[in-house]
Amino acid sequence: MNQLLSGSAIPVLSCTIILCVFLMIYAAAAKRRSNWQHVLFMAMVINGALSALFDLIGSTPALFGDEISARDMQVIFVANMLYYSVHAMVPAIYARYIMHVFSLTANANLFWRFRFFFVLIVTEIVVFLNPFNQRLFTVDPSGEIRRGPMVALLYAEGVFYLLIALYTMLVFRKALRLRMLHAVAVYYFVVVIGSAIQLFYPALRSELFFQAIAFLGLFLTFEDDDTRYDEITGLYNKTAFRWDNIRLLNTKRNYYVINLKIRNLKFYARIMNTEGYMRLLQSIAEWMSRLRRGSDVYHFDDNYTMIIYKSTEEEIRQLIDIMKEMLEKAWYFDELEAHFRAFISVAKCPEDMKSVDSVFDLVEYETGSESEHVIIQYRESLAQVKREAAVERALRKAILNRSFQIYYQPIHNCETDRVCSAEALVRLFDDELGQVPPAEFIPIAEKSAMIVEIGDIIFEKVCRFIRDFHPTLAGIEYIEINISMAQFMFTGLVDRFDELIRTYGVKAGNINLEITESVASDSSESFMRAVRRLAGMGFTFSMDDYGTGYSNISSILNVEFKNIKMDKIFLTRALSDEASATVLKDTVKLIRHLNRNVLQEGVETREELSLVRESGCNLVQGFFFSQPLPEADFMEYIRSFNHVAAV
The tens digit of pLDDT for each residue in 595-608 reads 999 999 999 999 99
Q: Model confidence at 183, in pLDDT bands (50, 70, 90)?
A: confident
User: Residue 567 gets which letter from DSSP?
Assistant: P
Closest by Cα among 127, 49, 31 to 90:
49
Fold category of 227-377 in CATH: Alpha-Beta Plaits (3.30.70)
User: Do the strands 540-546 and 511-516 form a parallel or antiparallel pair, or are they unpaired?
Assistant: parallel
Which pLDDT score is estimated for 646? 62
Is the pLDDT at 1 greater than 50? The verdict is no
* CATH no. for 9-224: 1.20.1070
Q: Lowest-pLDDT range, 224-238, 427-441, 611-625?
A: 224-238
Task: Provide the mean pLDDT of the chain.
Answer: 87
Is the pLDDT at 78 greater than 50? The verdict is yes
Is the pLDDT at 103 greater than 70? The verdict is yes
Q: Lowest-pLDDT range, 30-44, 283-297, 440-454?
A: 30-44
For residue range 291-346, list pLDDT tens digits in order: 988 789 999 988 999 999 888 899 999 999 999 999 999 898 877 888 899 999 99
Looking at residues 123-133, what average pLDDT do you find? 93
How do the residues of the chain divide into helix, strand and coil, expressed in percent and rounded to 5? Answer: 60, 15, 25
Location of each CATH 3.30.70.270 domain in the chain: 227-377
CA 181 from centroid of its chain's CA atoms: 23
Choice between 144 and 260, residue whose per-residue pLDDT is larger: 260
Choice between 513 and 107, residue whose per-residue pLDDT is larger: 513
Location of each CATH 1.20.1070 domain in the chain: 9-224
Which pLDDT score is estimated for 2? 39
Which pLDDT score is estimated for 577? 86
Is the pLDDT at 6 greater than 60? The verdict is no
* CATH no. for 389-640: 3.20.20.450
Which pLDDT score is estimated for 599? 95
Looking at residues 359-380, what average pLDDT do you find? 78
Which pLDDT score is estimated for 337? 87
Looking at residues 382-387, what average pLDDT do you find? 83
Burial class (CB in 10 A: 0-12, 13-18, 19+), 553: exposed
Cα separations (Å) of 251 from 99, 176, 255, 296? Answer: 10, 11, 11, 17
Hey, CA dihedral for 298, 299, 300, 301, is it positive or negative?
positive
- With a pLDDT cut of 90, the percent of the chain lying above it is 46
For helices 568-576 and 578-593, what crossing angle results, to 10°? 140
Location of each CATH 3.20.20.450 domain in the chain: 389-640
Q: Model confidence at 426, in pLDDT bands (50, 70, 90)?
A: very high
